[in-house]
Amino acid sequence: MKLIAGLGNPGSRYAESRHNVGFMVVDELARRWAADVTRYDRHFEALCGRTEACGQTVFLLKPATFMNLSGRSVAAAWRYYKLAVSDMLVVHDDLDLAVGQVRIRSAGSAGGHKGLDNVIRHVGTDEVPRLRIGIGKVHRAATVDYVLSRFLPDERPVVEEGVRYAADAAVHWVQSGIAAAMNQFNRRQNGESRTDSSEPDS
């Protein structure tokens, strides 16, 4: 079984905001796999759904705890299903990547992302596979307003492509594991086709 948790903030106020690209990726996976992620589960404090995909049972999760408490929800599902940490993929936004860029890591620090940091704290290890989608850089003093803002009209096509690419990466992770997904999808994307690039991540 695999767990894919997209991080974000619940409610219409935050829908489609930069901070919610993790939710967007889960929604794209749910669309592809005809899964329902609209059911609220009190035990997991999340909108979630279970489906069969790529020969695996996949549990999709969108925490309703608000971003900074995401770990409470993610860890509850992780523990309930008695999964290895390697069977969990956390999808979240990243301020250090250009809009729409995608990177996968098998472990490491939270890099200042409070949602991922909370997941790491609740799970008890930083060896949490994560899939990051860039939302663009901004001065740290303006971070809060920026991450809660919506994408500009000219950014929408780029982030939509990034969400689709991230969903492709998540599918590959389910099929082949983190190392294969990193090798296939961690590529320089500036001025290149996402599907044609063969250059490894720097």
Distant-in-sequence, close-in-space partners of 122: CB < 8 Å, separation ≥ 6: 71, 72, 74, 75
The answer to whether position 128 is within a domain reads: yes
Gap between the Cα atoms of 101 and 130, Å rounded: 14
Can you give the pLDDT at residue 137?
Answer: 85
Mean pLDDT for the chain overall: 91
Mean pLDDT of 19-43: 97
Where does the pLDDT of residue 196 fall: very low under 50, low under 70, confident under 90, or very high at 90 and above? very low
Gap between the Cα atoms of 196 and 187, Å rounded: 10
The answer to whether position 15 is within a domain reads: yes
pLDDT at position 199 over 90 = no
User: pLDDT exceeding 90 applies to what percent of the chain?
Assistant: 88
Domain count, the chain: 1
The answer to whether position 198 is within a domain reads: no
The answer to whether position 193 is within a domain reads: no
> CATH no. for residue 166?
3.40.50.1470
pLDDT at position 99 over 60 = yes
The answer to whether position 98 is within a domain reads: yes
Where does the pLDDT of residue 201 fall: very low under 50, low under 70, confident under 90, or very high at 90 and above? very low
Can you give the pLDDT at residue 60?
Answer: 98
Can you give the pLDDT at residue 141?
Answer: 67
Starting at the edge strand that comes first in sequence, how are the strands of the sheet with 102-105 ordered?
39-41, 46-53, 56-63, 2-6, 88-94, 130-134, 102-105
Residue 104's alpha-carbon distances to 20, 35, 71, 94, 177, in angstroms, are 17, 24, 19, 11, 11
Can you give the pLDDT at residue 24?
Answer: 98
The answer to whether position 121 is within a domain reads: yes
pLDDT at position 189 over 70 = no
The answer to whether position 196 is within a domain reads: no
Where does the pLDDT of residue 138 fall: very low under 50, low under 70, confident under 90, or very high at 90 and above? confident
The answer to whether position 63 is within a domain reads: yes
* Residues with a known catalytic role: 19
Mean pLDDT of 130-149: 89
Can you give the pLDDT at residue 155?
Answer: 96
Query: What global pTM score does this model have?
Result: 0.91
pLDDT tens-digit series, residues 35-91: 999 999 999 999 999 999 999 999 999 999 999 999 999 999 999 999 999 999 999
Domain with 111, as residue range(s), is 2-185
